Amino acid sequence: MKKRPFWQLSAIVALMFVGFLYGIHVMIEEASGDAMERSLRHEAAWSSSNGRAEIYSFYVSLNQYAETPDQDHQNKVEIAYEIFLGRIYMWDMAWFRQYLDKDPKLVRVFNRLKVNAESLEQLVMELKDETSARILLAKVDTLLADVDRIAIEIYQHNISESALIRSDIQNTQLQEKIFIVVLVMVSAGLLFGALLQNRSLLQANREIEAKAGELARLANHDSLTGLPNRASFDDHLKLVTRRLSDRESVAVMALDLDGFKSINDALGHAGGDALLLSVADRLTRFMAQSDQRNMVARVGGDEFLILAISRGSSLEFERLGRALLLEFERPFETDYGSLTVGVSIGIAPVAGREIGLQKAVTNSDLALIAAKREGKGTVVSFERGMRENLEARLRIENELKRARGTGQIKPFYQPQFDLETGEIVGYEALARWEHPQLGFMIPENFIPIAECNGDISWIGEEVLATACRDVQRFSRSARVAVNLSVAQLLSDRLVRKVEQVLRESGLNPARLTLEVTESLVMSDPNKVLQNLGELQRLGVSISLDDFGTGYSALSQLSRFRWDELKIDKFFVENCEADDLTLAIVDLVQSVSGKLNARLVAEGLETHRQESIFWSRGCQIGQGYLFGRPMSADAILEIYHGGSLRRLYAV
C-alpha cells in the first residue's frame, strides 16, 4: 500500500484537530448559551417581585385615599389598580406561565388571584369615601397572600436555577481547562483567548449572584427606609410566635402618622421621605431597647407595623404605646430641619396560638381606625366588638343588595299636627327595614352604610314611591314629607324620577314635601339648588330640615325660596330651660314669616314644649307627644277609628 505524503497526513491531522477544536467550541457555546438562557429566567423573578411591589402600591394608594378621599388620591388608586391588573395579565403569558404550570397548586392560586383581582374593578370605579376605601382594603388583604405565594415560589425556583447555572459554569470551566492544556501545545494565543473567556464567565457568575442577592433584599425590605416590608414582617411574626416561651406574649401595633400629609404637601415628597427616614430610625432604636426580636416594618406611605414582645401582661403593650406617643412629642431632625408629627396607634395582642396571625394584623388595623376616630395622638387596644361591628356592617351591606325590590325596606309614618286645630295635616315618611333574620332596623343602623355603598338611591326612590301611594289611603288632603339623600340631590335623574312617581301614583304635587338638610345643600350648592328649583316648578314643596344646625343656614335662606323650615329638635329640647334658645326660635319664626314658609317644630315630647312653640307662631308640630312612627296599616287603623284625638293621645 502506498503511503500518503506527510503533507497529506499533516493536513488530515490538522483537519481532525480543527474538528476537535470545533467540537470543543460547540460544546462550550451550547453550555454558555444554555446558561445565558436560564439567566434570562431571572426576569420571571423580577416580574414576580414587581407584582409584589405593585399590589402594595395599590394598597398604599387605598390607605392614602382613606386618609384623604379626594380626586387626586382616587386617581392614584385607579392607576395603581390598573398597573397591578396589567401585571396579572403579564403573568398569564407563556413565558411566565411555564413556571406556574410546573406546580398545579400554584396554577390554582394564580387563577384565583386573577379572578379576585378582576372583581375589584367595580369597587375601584365606585370608590367615593373612606368607608368604601376600608371595605376595598379588606378585600385587597385577601389578594396579598396569593401574590406573596406566587412571588416566593418563583423566587425559590429562581434560586434553584441559579444553583444549576453555577454548576454548569463549573463544568464548563473544567472543559475549558482541558481545552487549555491542548491549546498550550498549539498556540499561546488560543490560551490567552480561553483565559479571557474564563474571566468573562466568572464575571457573569458574580453578576448573577449579585442580582439574586439584590432580588432577595428588594423582596423583603422597603426601598426608602430599608425597614422590613409586610412580607418580611409576616414571616418574622410566624417565627417569633412559634418560639415564644410560656411567659412571653406578642402583639401587633399598627401606627399611622398624624399630620404627615400637611408636611408632605408643604415640603414635597423629598421632605416627606426625609421625615419617614427619621421616624423609621427612631422607631427601630426605641423598640430594640426592650427586645432585639422586636421588629418595625413600613407597610404604607406613612403606616408602620410593630411586632412587640413582652414578658408581662397585655397592659405592657398599652404602656409601650403611650411611651411611643411620648417619643413623637420630640421633633424629628431631618435635612429639612426639625419636623413635628403625631401618631395614632392600634394594638392587637396575639394570645398564644388562639388567634390567626393575619387576623392579628387585621385586628391592629381595626384598633387603629378606632384610635383615629377618637382623635389624633391616641392608643387603642383591639376589642372583639370592633371586629363584630365590621362583620355586622359587611353583612348589612350584603343584605342591602338582596333587599332591593323585596319590600323589606318601607316607610313608617310620623303624623304632623296643626298646633292650632289639633288636626293631622301631614306625615313624615321614615325608612324602616324589616329583615327576616336581622329583625326590625331603624335608619341609623343601615342608612349610613347605604349612603357609602350607593344603595341609598334605590332606597330613597322606593320610599318615595310607596309614600306617595300610601298617603292617598290615609287622607284626601294631608301632605307627605320624604327625605332626600345627597346621592339623589346630585343626580341628573331626580326631577324625572319625582315626576314619574307623581304621575304613576296620581298624587297631587302640592301634597308632596321633599326635605333636605343644610349639610346636603352645601355638598354642591349650585347643583342642589338647581334641582330643587325644578322640583318646585312641578308644584312640590321643599323643606329645609334640621334648620339651625348646618353649615350656613342664613346664606342658604338668601339663595332659595323655601316652602317650609323645620326647627331642629335640639332647640325643642332646650326651649324650657334656655332663654337664648327661645330667642333663636323667635328669630327663626320671624324669618319664616317673611319667607311665607311653614314652620314645623319636630321632636315635641311634652305639652309644655307644644305650648311654647304654639305661642311663638309655630304652625305645625311633630314628635312623640302626638305619635311615634307607625306602619301604613297602623295609621289606617287609628285614622279610620275616628281617632284624631286618639292618635293625639298616643
Amino acid at 625: L
* Torsion sign over Cα 604, 606, 608, 611: positive
Task: Tabulate helix, strand, coil % of the chain (nearest 5).
Answer: 65, 15, 20
Residues 147 and 56: their CA atoms lie apart, in Å, by 10
Position 255 pLDDT exceeds 90: yes
Query: Which tens digits make up the pLDDT trace of 419-435?
Result: 988 889 999 999 999 88
Taking the CA atoms of residue 21, residue 26, residue 32 and residue 37 in that order, the dihedral angle to the nearest 10 degrees is 170
Q: What is the mean pLDDT of residues 159-167?
A: 67
Confidence grade of residue 617 (pLDDT, cut at 50, 70, 90): confident
Query: Kindly report the CA angle at 405 between 399 and 409, in degrees rounded to 5?
Result: 60
Residues 446 and 280: their CA atoms lie apart, in Å, by 41
Residues 409 and 411: their CA atoms lie apart, in Å, by 7
Range with the largest mean pLDDT of 155-164, 350-359, 614-623: 614-623
The pLDDT value given to residue 552: 44
Residues 483 and 427: their CA atoms lie apart, in Å, by 12
Residues 586 and 335: their CA atoms lie apart, in Å, by 59
Position 180 pLDDT exceeds 70: no
Q: What is the mean pLDDT of residues 139-155?
A: 79
Higher per-residue pLDDT: 380 or 121: 380
Amino acid at 226: G
The pLDDT value given to residue 165: 59
The pLDDT value given to residue 650: 36
Angle, helices 6-40 vs 42-67, to 10°: value is 20
Contacts of 396 (CB under 8 A, 6+ apart): 438, 445, 446, 449
- 3-state DSSP assignment of residue 551: coil
Q: What is the mean pLDDT of residues 516-528?
A: 77
Residues 605 and 334: their CA atoms lie apart, in Å, by 60
**Domains in the chain, ordered, with CATH?**
42-220 (1.20.120), 230-390 (3.30.70.270), 408-648 (3.20.20.450)
Work out the number of other CB atoms within 10 angstroms of the CB of residue 584.
Answer: 16
The pLDDT value given to residue 647: 44
Query: Which tens digits make up the pLDDT trace of 227-243?
Result: 999 888 888 888 888 88
List the grid coordinates of 322.
Answer: 403611650
Q: Read off the pTM.
A: 0.51
Work out the number of other CB atoms within 10 angstroms of the CB of residue 120.
Answer: 17
Q: What is the mean pLDDT of residues 539-550?
A: 79
Residues 377 and 258: their CA atoms lie apart, in Å, by 7
Please name the residue that has the C-alpha cell 350648592.
Answer: 525
User: Mean pLDDT score of the chain, rounded to an integer?
Assistant: 80
Residues 597 and 153: their CA atoms lie apart, in Å, by 71
The pLDDT value given to residue 649: 38
- Range of weakest confidence among 157-161, 378-382, 530-534: 157-161
Burial (CB < 10 A; 0-12, 13-18, 19+), residue 150, is buried
Q: What is the mean pLDDT of residues 612-635?
A: 88
Position 136 pLDDT exceeds 50: yes
Contact status, residue 100 vs residue 36, Cβ threshold 8 Å:
no
List the grid coordinates of 1.
Answer: 500500500
